[in-house]
Structure 1
């Protein structure tokens, strides 16, 4: 996950150094990638949310010694991966340019964004299979191979980014298209490694073309019972970023670029916590199926302490070094002036977010995906977007950033209420 976070940052650093006819070509390209992010996040939401459903069902089935059901979960997961890709192939072909144009009136930014998003969407097969194969490995405790798959894909991306963006050596200078091609190349290689690791090392499950192409609707229903709330929860994140892009666009495209830079930088701290979450879900689900209450409590305590510690470190880094962090992205004086208070204000919410993520993993592992959905809706739709819009009416951009800590406090309140309810009705009875 740390390598993936490094890719997120390095990719944007290269994009911010794109040279074009305009003096602000790098910033325009960075803004374009930020405008494409809601759709990219939607892809990740569909793939990752489906993976959560696969993960929970497969791990629970193994814990209950229902091995045929575990195989069915794995094979139906692969089938659903094909379906997910077809959805975004259609979106990429027909809707990508229009989606970018809804967020900006700049012809240059629209052109950059449409080019980037069409490539990413139409070639997203590698992304979806990478996520599915990594989830299968995580479900059976093969996290080392999952790490190898993801790390290799991210490293390939980092290596090919400058080669394809700037045209180094025999490679053509493709600009922002090069960034997109480097991304999909890394995803395809990661997917291939994930497939090979599952076939060779994941002996707990058995994949076959016959089983993959024979739908088992009862299994698909169980996958989506847990997965759909997760998909919706992450999709709400796409709505949030889209709306925040629109709100920040009321001030300037530079404000939007700063938001994009923030998202890349925060991944250094959020990605490890999400990785912890991915590892925690099958552990909790397995021990829930096996009725090992003390192991559940131990795993949860460890996860909470580690998650909050990671996020507290992130807060300190953002508070102390905001100008240095922004400088990596070829920031103009305007971007630095906007970005310094933004990073400091938003990062105040990091420790609270770490605690909420840990509690969310409990909801998902115990098939209470609707609880996670309620927390996400409360945070992002009910609080964050309205708060950001209201604060934007003051004309003070710095106040808009306070919407993030406000929303995180609301998220924590809802999470604690639902966790107490879950503990009384489920954990206390084991």
Structure 2
């Protein structure tokens, strides 16, 4: 008998904590790239903040593709390890990395082709447009390194190794944080590049993380490895990665579409409203990605125990994860309700932005606790081969209910209605998610 995996033996609460804290930190750091860029470029001007904010839907889509592919790899590896199928787990590693690199190249090309008409649909201001194009033209080249390093991150997390991925993520973010002010403002020997400097810093950070990820996977002992002997491209694995990872991709990608449509509503009021929502969305993503970090810790545990047909530990993981998610988002709500103006001053908010931004922040943050419930149910469905329910929940949360609610409530309440739409959409989605969880019990018929 092989060595027992901690995902089938360790007490549940300590296991979830040790599995979730490192990816929680990693997911938090993943979204600090654009957060840090926005913080520094806001010191240039509000136009610069608006330009980088307009680029956020595109960068969110790029990261969503990376996370979706990575989660597909993660779930498959955990499931095969639960079935004690080492050869297939190694095959997933090799196929996953190749697929990630290929997708990264394709996404980079697409972004370069669509960015100009995308930005032109939002602004006629030549200054904002030029800065947005300058930023995105460079940021597009982060995608290959983003795809590959997140894939390796999820490979290791699928084996229960949560520490190494956290450290190579931290290394990339720290490099970005150091380079941002140096390249944006031209400190010491570095040229003054403005928003382009923020983009260069981001690309360097992701590339550094990718290099470290390969080093850890190849030269450090892991429970899986890159399969070379007898390796062949397996398009069945490609398909499974896409199918399993699609809900995670959609959850993140819909955030980009949501931002796009929200900006279309807000630009009717002012560019300051767009700048505010760009700042808010960075804050929201910090909270939601922290929640997703918890989810990424729970998914391999649920997938492993689903593969091992251990219903007790599978259910325990979901219950503990749901409780922790509610507590985490509850703390976030308290902080944002008590200190909204202090939070917005990080983005050098003007008096006009603060006038509507403070009440808006207090309204929208209430939705977080309901988002925690829906996200945890969606992840449970994803881990137990009920992808269609996971897809439905994610579509309802960020698009199917939210956009119509924005349109309807803005007709009666103006810009304030846009903020309340977030609460309405999340409450209804959480109720539907819980109903699905209760109605459709676990089935192990397709676990093998």
Bucket of the pairwise TM-score, normalised by the shorter protein:
over 0.9
What per-residue deviation string (whole Å, max 9, x for no partner) do you get for residues 227-273 of structure 1? Answer: 23433343222221111111111111111111111111223322221
For residue 282 of structure 1, the aligned residue among 300, 311, 315 is 300
Moved more, 203-212 or 223-232: 203-212
State yes or no: 1:62 paired with 2:81. yes
User: 2:69 is matched with which residue: 46, 50, 53?
Assistant: 50
Question: Unaligned 5+ residue runs, structure 2?
Answer: 1-24
Aligned position for 2:3: none
Which residue does 2:40 correspond to in 1? 14
Q: Deviations over 1:11-68 (max 9, x none)?
A: 32111001xxxxxxx2111111221111111111211111111111111001001111
2:256 is the counterpart of 1:230: no
Which of residues 157, 162, 180 in structure 2 aligns to 1:143?
162
Among 33, 49, 52, which residue is 1:33 paired with?
Answer: 52
In 2: Cα distance, 1:217 partner to 1:211 partner: 15
Residue deviations 1:259-288 (CA, integer Å, cap 9, x gap): 111111223322221111111111111011
Q: Is the 8 A contact 2:247 2:394 kept in 1?
A: no
Q: 1:98 aligned to 2:124?
A: no
The aligned counterpart of 2:353 is: 335
CA contact (8 A) 1:48 1:131 kept: yes
d(CA) in 2 for partners of 1:123, 1:295: 38
The 1:340/1:250 distance shift into structure 2, 3 A limit, reads same
Structure 1 unaligned spans of 5+:
19-25
Q: Deviations over 1:207-245 (max 9, x none)?
A: 156777x42112112212212343334322222111111
Q: What is the aligned length?
A: 421
1:129-163 C-alpha deviation (Å, 9 max, x unpaired): 12111111111111000110111111111111111
Tell me by how many angstroms 1:295 deviates.
1.6
1:264 aligns with 2:301: no
Alignment equivalent of 2:219, drawn from 185, 200, 216? 200
| 1:383 matched residue in structure 2 | 401
User: The residue matched to 2:223 in structure 1 has which SS?
Assistant: coil
| Contact preservation (8 Å) 1:226, 1:368 | no
Stretch deviating more after TM superposition (86-95 or 171-180): 86-95
Q: Give yes or no for contact 2:371–2:426 (8 Å, CA) kept in 1.
A: yes
- 1:69 positional shift: 1.0
How many Å apart are 1:385 and its aligned residue? 0.7
The structural deviation recorded for 1:426 is: 5.2
- Structure 2 contact 142–207 (Cα < 8 Å) conserved: no
What is the CA distance between 1:422 and its match in structure 2?
3.5
Query: Equivalent residue for 2:185?
Result: 166
Kindly state the Cα deviation for residue 6 of structure 1 after the two structures are TM-superposed: 5.0
- Report if the CA contact (8 A) 1:230-1:369 is conserved: no
Deviation of the 1:8 alpha carbon:
4.6
Cα distance change on mapping 1:196 and 1:344 into 2, 3 Å? same
Which residue pairs with 1:252 in the alignment? Answer: 270
Residue in 1 aligned with 2:104? Answer: 85
**Which whole-Å CA distance do the structure 1 matches of 2:197 and 2:301 have between them?**
39
Whether the 8 Å CA contact 1:93–1:122 is kept in 2: the answer is: no
Cα 1:131–1:268 shift into 2, 3 Å: same
Aligned ranges 1:301-320 → 2 under 5 Å: 301-320=319-338
Structure 1 residues 380 and 15: CA distance shift in structure 2, 3 A: same
User: Aligned partners of 2:385 and 2:189: how far apart in 1?
Assistant: 51
Deviation for aligned residue 1:365:
1.2
Look up the match of 2:6.
none
Q: Contact (CA 8 Å) 2:33, 2:202: kept in 1 or not?
A: no
The residue correspondences of 1:399-410 to structure 2 (distance < 5 A) are 399-410=417-428
Question: Distance in 1 between the 2:294 and 2:310 partners?
Answer: 20
Q: TM-score, normalised by structure 1?
A: 0.93
Kept in 2, the 8 Å contact 1:164–1:173? The answer is: yes
Contact 1:14 1:161 in 2 (8 A): yes
TM-score w.r.t. length of structure 2 = 0.89
Equivalent of residue 317 in structure 2, options 275, 290, 299? 299
